[in-house]
């Protein structure tokens, strides 16, 4: 029974999304979430095997009692042989666990943990542990950016994690693969861009058709978009999952009109608003974020994504267009936006009127003066000196154009 408890998750690797040995230990619920009827039968079979061992054990015990009563002598037990068998089981279990933890390395396990925390909306954990890896990691970059956006800290803490990929670090769209599509779908779903979330969920479904996460995402997007016939088709398929019945019932209640005033509490999982749900031809990221901003100016995470996307692209013209329309208080702009306005004023001969009206805090002005002084003295060699004190500012990114990319090869 103990051996099966270890080997069963290993056999179910292919049903976990994305595929990684680490997910067996960090995704305990996902491991049990099989989606097809024949997989459910396999699941029940593995649960019944320990019962068979117990039945055999009690049958052997009963036989021993009968032999003892008939012969009048107690049968001898080979404790040495039993001990060797138990020790062998323990060794095999230890080897399997060690291999599963070693395969893929620490980076893959950490990426799996970040993905799991994002599914649980545990943004504080992601922010606090983003620097646990010794080197830059693209997936951690993505989940960190998503976490600070969902907690309203993106305009203050974006550069606390090195943005080596520029605005490509805000969303993972390339290469097209299931492990890439699903996180991108998660980002758009959290921001409220349902059409884009559904598009990437369908792409992920091609690669991971058995993933319960992908199925839930597709169903939720279809229900929000009021495409109930398509949602029912996926609900019928997902209802084969032994652990999905509660989810399926809640969505069908909504489709049947029993939830008429609002969505179920667990449906949107605390999302602030569903701003865009109409069908349209897939647009580039900037247009997706812009559409969210136009649809709902109260969607703060989407607004921060749009503004930070423009900052990382160094598109100051559109940055000012958006921030003017956003209604931000000129006297109290967030830290990174103040930094952007300050360096724009310092490097532009004829700045926009809006930029001249923004109030820059004394601390930001003082730090910019220190930054400029070091750059003037050391020129292009100033980066190593500046990164100690200014790594968390927009200025070092703006001035050196992703300086660390020259010395690293981040995976795209």
- Residue 401 lies inside a defined structural domain of this protein: yes
Which residue from 193, 198, 190 is spatially nearest to 215, judged by alpha carbons?
A: 198
- Answer yes or no: are the C-beta atoms of 299 and 292 closer than 8 Å: yes
User: Per the domain annotation, does 89 fall within a domain?
Assistant: yes
pLDDT in tens, 314-368: 989 999 999 998 888 888 999 999 999 999 998 888 889 999 998 999 999 999 9
What pLDDT, on a 0 to 100 scale, did the predictor assign at position 124?
93
Structural domain contains residue 363: yes
The answer to whether residue 85 is domain-embedded is yes
Q: Domain for residue 231, yes or no?
A: no
> With contact defined as beta carbons under 8 Å apart, do 137 and 111 qualify?
yes
Q: For the chain, which ranges sit under pLDDT 50? A: 11-44, 260-262, 264-266, 268-273, 281, 405-412
Q: Which residues of 317-337 are buried (b: 16+ CB within 10 A; e: fewer)?
A: eebbebbeeeebeeeebbbbb
pTM beyond cutoff 0.75: no
At a CB cut-off of 8 Å and minimum separation 6, what does 212 contact?
A: 17, 30, 33, 35, 238, 241, 243, 244
With respect to residue 62, please indicate whether it lies within any of the assigned structural domains. Answer: yes
Domain that residue 43 falls in: 2-103
In a domain, 138, yes or no: no
Of 103, 135, 157, the one marking the end of a domain is 103
Residue with tokens 């861009």, as numbered in its chain: 193
- What total number of domains does the chain contain? 2
Residue 167 is encoded by which pair of tokens? 């605005």
Q: Would you say residue 34 lies in a domain?
A: yes
Domain end point (choices 103, 125, 143): 103
- String of DSSP letters for 23-55: HHHH-HHHHH---SHHHHHHHHHHHHHHHHHHH
**Phi and psi dihedrals of 15, rounded to 5?**
-100, 5
Give the end of a domain, one of 58, 79, 103: 103
Inter-residue contact 24 to 100 (CB < 8 Å): yes
């Amino acid at each position: 029974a103990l051996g099966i408890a270890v080997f069963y998750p290993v056999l179910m690797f292919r049903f976990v999304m994305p595929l990684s040995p680490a997910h067996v230990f960090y995704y305990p619920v996902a491991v049990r979430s099989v989606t097809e009827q024949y997989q459910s039968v396999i699941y029940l079979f593995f649960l019944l095997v320990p019962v068979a061992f117990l039945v055999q054990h009690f049958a052997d015990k009963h036989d021993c009692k009968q032999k003892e009563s008939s012969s009048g002598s107690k049968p001898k037990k080979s404790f040495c042989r039993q001990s060797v068998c138990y020790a062998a089981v323990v060794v095999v279990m230890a080897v399997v666990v060690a291999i599963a933890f070693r395969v893929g390395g620490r980076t893959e396990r950490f990426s799996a943990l970040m993905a799991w925390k994002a599914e649980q909306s545990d943004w504080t954990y992601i922010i606090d542990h983003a620097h646990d890896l010794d080197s830059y990691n693209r997936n951690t970059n993505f989940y960190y950016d998503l976490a600070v956006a969902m907690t309203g800290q993106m305009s203050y803490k974006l550069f606390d994690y090195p943005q080596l990929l520029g605005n490509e670090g805000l969303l993972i769209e390339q290469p097209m693969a299931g492990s890439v599509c699903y996180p991108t779908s998660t980002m758009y779903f959290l921001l409220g861009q349902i059409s884009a979330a559904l598009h990437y969920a369908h792409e992920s479904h091609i690669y991971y058709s058995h993933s319960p996460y992908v199925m839930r995402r597709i169903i939720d997007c279809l229900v929000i978009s009021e495409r109930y016939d398509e949602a029912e088709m996926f609900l019928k398929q997902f209802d084969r999952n032994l652990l999905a019945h509660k989810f399926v019932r809640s969505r069908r209640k909504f489709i049947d009109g029993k939830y008429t005033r609002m969505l179920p509490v667990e449906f949107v999982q605390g999302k602030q608003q569903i701003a865009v749900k109409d069908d349209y031809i897939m647009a580039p990221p900037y247009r997706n974020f812009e559409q969210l901003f136009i649809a709902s100016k109260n969607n703060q995470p989407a607004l921060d994504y749009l503004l930070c996307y423009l900052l990382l692209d160094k598109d100051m013209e559109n940055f000012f267009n958006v921030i003017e329309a956003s209604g931000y208080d000129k006297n109290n702009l967030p830290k990174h936006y103040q930094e952007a306005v300050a360096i724009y004023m310092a490097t532009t001969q004829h700045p926009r009127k809006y930029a001249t009206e923004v109030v820059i805090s004394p601390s930001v002005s003082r730090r910019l003066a220190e930054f400029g002084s070091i750059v003037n003295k050391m020129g292009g060699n100033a980066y190593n000196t500046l990164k100690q004190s200014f790594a968390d500012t927009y200025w070092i990114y703006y001035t050196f154009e992703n300086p660390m990319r020259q010395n690293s090869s981040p995976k795209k």
